[in-house]
Structure 1
Amino acid sequence: MKTKVVIVDDHKLIAKAIGSIVNDFTDFEVMYEVENGVELIEKFKSPDKLPDIVLLDISMPVMDGFETAKWITKNHPDILVMALSMQDDEQSLFKMINNGAKGFMHKNIHPQELEIALKTLLREKIYFPGWATQKLYSSINNPAPSPTYEITPREEEFLKYVCQDLTYKEIGEKMNCSHRTIDGYRDSLFTKLGINSRVGLALFAVKHKYFNPDDFKI
C-alpha cells in the first residue's frame, strides 16, 4: 500500500510539479490537489478522500495554511501536515508548529530531499530541515522573559510530562487523574498560551524552563 498524499496550493503549476515528483516515488502517490483550505475541507467530507500526509502551502487565498493546519489538527489529528513555503522566516515556522504542522520545508527542495522528508515524516511523525531545527534550537536556548500567564502547579506538572514520550493516557496515570482531567489541563493551556498543538506546548515548556530532563532521569 502506498502512502496517500494530498497537495494544497493555489499555484496550479507548482502543485502539479510537486505532484508529479511525488508520484515518481515508489512508496507515495498523490490522491488529489486543491487550491485552499476550504476546498480541502469539502474533500474531507468523504472518508475515502482522507490522506496520510497533507503538503500544505502557507500563503493561499480564502483559507490559508495556518488556519487549514489548525483545522486538520483539530478534526483529523492522525493526518500528518507538512508545511510548504518559499520563505524560511521564524514567525511562519513557529505559527505552523503551534497550529499542528509536523514538518516544514521549502518549495524549492530537491526531489531526493523531498522523498527523504516524506519518509522521515511518515516514520518519525516529525520532519524539519537543518535551517528550521537551528531556529527552533536558538529559540529554545535564548533567554526568555518569564511568562505572564497564570499556570497552576498541576498544569506545570502536565507540561513536564508533555515533553516526554508518553500518551495522554499515560500522563493521566503518572498524575493519578482521569483522561478527562488531562484533556482539561491541555485545553486550558491551549487557551492561555494561544497554542494549538502538543508540539507547541512542548516547545513552550522547554523554552520557559518548565521541563528539565534531569528531573526525569531514573
Structure 2
Amino acid sequence: MTYSIVIVDDHLLIAKAVAAIVEGFRDFEVLYEAENGQVLTERFKQPRHVPDIVLLDITMPVMDGFETAAWLKEHHPGVLVMALSVQDDEDALIRMIKHGARGYLHKNVHPTELEKALYTLVNKGMYFPEWATSKVFRTLAEERAEAPATPRLSDREIEFLQFAATELTYREIGEKMFCSPRTVESYRDSLFEKLGLKTRVGLVMYAVKSGLVKL
C-alpha cells in the first residue's frame, strides 16, 4: 500500500528537499507542497488533495502549524499529522499534541529516522522520538498529579485503551469491540474524566506508561 503525503512549510527549499527524501521511500509518495495552513485548507476542498499524512511545519505566516493542526483535527481527523520543526521545546511539543499531532520530529533528523517515523505513524497511529516521549510523560505526570486519584479501570476500558494505541478509527474500534461508535465514545469520555486527560494521544501515553500497551 502506498501512503500519500503533503508537506506544509513556508521554506520552499526545505519543502522540496523533504519531498525528494520522502519520494525515495518505498511506500510513500508526495502529493504536493503547501506554503502555509491556509493554502492547505484551500487544497483540501478537493477530495483528491486530501492525503494520508501531513508533514507540518510549526512556524509559518498566515496560518501556522498550531492553527493548521487544530483545523485538521476538527475537519479531517483521519489525516495523520506529523510535526516537522526546528523547535524542540516542550511548550511547542505539548501544544502540537493537544492540537491533534500524532508525531513530532526535529528537522535535522536523518532520513532513516524519518522513514521509520512514517512507518510507525501509519502502523501504530503515532510516533514520538525518545526526547519527545520523555517530555510528554513528564507533562502527563504533572497533569495526573493535579488530578484526583485514578479510579480502577474496567476490562472494557482497558480493551479500548489497547485499541486506541492503533491506527483504528473509533468506528473501527467499535467493530472490534462489538459495540456501537457511541459506546466507544462513552469509554473514551469516561477515561478522559477518570484520568484527567483531554486527547487520544494522552490516553495512549497513559496506556504505554502503565504497561497496558507497548509501542
Q: TM-score range by the shorter chain?
A: 0.7 to 0.9
CA distance in 2, matches of 1:107, 1:81: 15
Could you tell me which residue of structure 2 aligns to residue 88 of structure 1?
88
Question: 1:163, 1:187 → 2: CA distance?
Answer: 12
1:59 paired residue number = 59
Paired with 1:135 and 1:42, the residues of 2 have a C-alpha distance of: 34
Query: Partner of 2:200 in structure 1?
Result: 198
Residue identity opposite 1:34 in structure 2 = A
Q: Aligned pair 1:165/2:152, yes or no? A: no
What is the 5 A alignment of 1:103-114? 103-114=103-114
2: distance between equivalents of 1:130 and 1:34?
A: 29
Q: What residue in structure 2 maps to residue 21 of structure 1?
A: 21
Distance in 2 (alpha carbons) for counterparts of 1:15 and 1:82: 14
Q: In structure 2, how many angstroms separate the alpha carbons of the residues matched to 1:75 and 1:186?
A: 20
1:174-213 superposed matches below 5 A:
179-180=181-182, 183=185, 195=198, 197-200=199-202
Spell out the pairing of 1:133-172 with structure 2 (5 A cutoff).
133-142=133-142, 145-147=145-147, 163-165=161-163, 168=170
Larger radius of gyration: 1
Q: How many residues align?
A: 205
1:114-125 alignment runs, 5 A limit:
114-125=114-125
Q: CA deviation at 1:28?
A: 1.2
Question: Counterpart of 1:50?
Answer: 50
Is contact 2:197-2:203 (8 Å) kept?
no
**Structure 2 counterpart of 1:57, one-letter code:** D
Residue 143 of structure 1 and its aligned partner are, at CA, apart by 7.8
Give the Cα separation in 1 of the matches to 2:143 and 2:77. Answer: 32
Q: How has the CA–CA distance of structure 1 residues 136 and 82 changed in structure 2, closer, same or farther, with 3 Å as cutoff?
A: same
Measure the CA separation in 1 of the matches of 2:21 and 2:65: 21
CA gap of 1:181–1:114, structure 2 versus 1, over 3 A, is closer
SS at match of 2:20: helix
Structure 2, unmatched stretches of 5+, are: none
Q: Aligned equivalents of 2:115 and 2:77: distance in 1?
A: 23
Deviation at 1:145, TM superposition (A): 4.6
Unpaired runs of at least 5, structure 1: none
What letter is aligned with 1:199?
A: V
Q: Which residue of 2 aligns with 1:72?
A: 72
Distance 2:182 2:55 in 1: 32
Q: For residues 99 and 25 of structure 1, what CA distance do their matches in structure 2 show?
A: 28
- Relative to 1, partners in 2 of residues 1:28 and 1:213: Cα closer, same or farther, differing over 3 Å? closer
Could you list the runs of 4 or more consecutive aligned residues of structure 1 that deviate by over 6 angstroms after TM superposition?
Answer: 184-190, 211-214
Secondary structure of 1:165's aligned partner: helix
Once the 2 structures are TM-superposed, how far is the Cα of residue 179 of structure 1 from its aligned partner?
4.7
Which residue type is aligned with residue 120 of structure 1? T
